[in-house]
Amino acid sequence: MTSTITDTINFPRQRPPLIFFDEIFLDELTESGDRGIRALLPISSGISVPPRHKSRISVSHPAAAFCPERLALGGDAQNWIINDILIGERSQISVLSAIAGDAGIPGEVFASRASDCMIKFETAQTSMLITLIVTYVGDDPLGAPFTCVLLGIAAT
């Protein structure tokens, strides 16, 4: 028997705090020469994501601009499929999605200890949503909460 992914579940939009590392300053946020600092944007579903359902988790960020550089999954990354990452309405992994198809990208690619898993993300401007579409594929019949962090550069 094969399991299929059914309807997309939308979780309420969140506004988590950016976590800044004051001691790390970067010369450029974009090619225009804007300054920024390294920041973490935590993302969580807050509740268990049911198995085999595409779930949409959206957050907004408090910075004027935030340019993600890396996605790091919390917990057991092998239990997750990343179906898409959107900044605004634009897919950030469209090339990888085209390769992976409907199967999505295995969470191990974005495990917190994984190396060489940088993606070129667009900059999220003020009030733009950052949305992750994920699927829980682990063994727990009740599902599991999804947690991750986006590491990037925030405008100062």
- Single out the residue of 59, 65, 68, 41 nearest to residue 125, CA to CA: 65
| Residue located via tokens 């935590």 | 42
User: Six-digit token pair at 136?
Assistant: 């829980």
- Single out the residue of 71, 67, 90, 88 nearest to residue 134, CA to CA: 71
Tens of each residue's pLDDT in the chain, 156 residues: 333 344 455 555 555 544 443 333 333 333 334 567 888 889 999 999 999 999 999 998 776 789 898 899 998 999 999 999 999 999 888 665 556 566 788 999 888 777 666 677 899 998 899 999 999 999 999 999 999 999 888 887
CA separation for the pair 112, 122 (Å, rounded): 21
The whole-number pLDDT of residue 140 equals: 97
CA separation for the pair 48, 140 (Å, rounded): 10
Please give the model's pTM, rounded to 2 decimal places: 0.75
Q: Which helix (H) or strand (E) holds 95?
A: helix 94-100
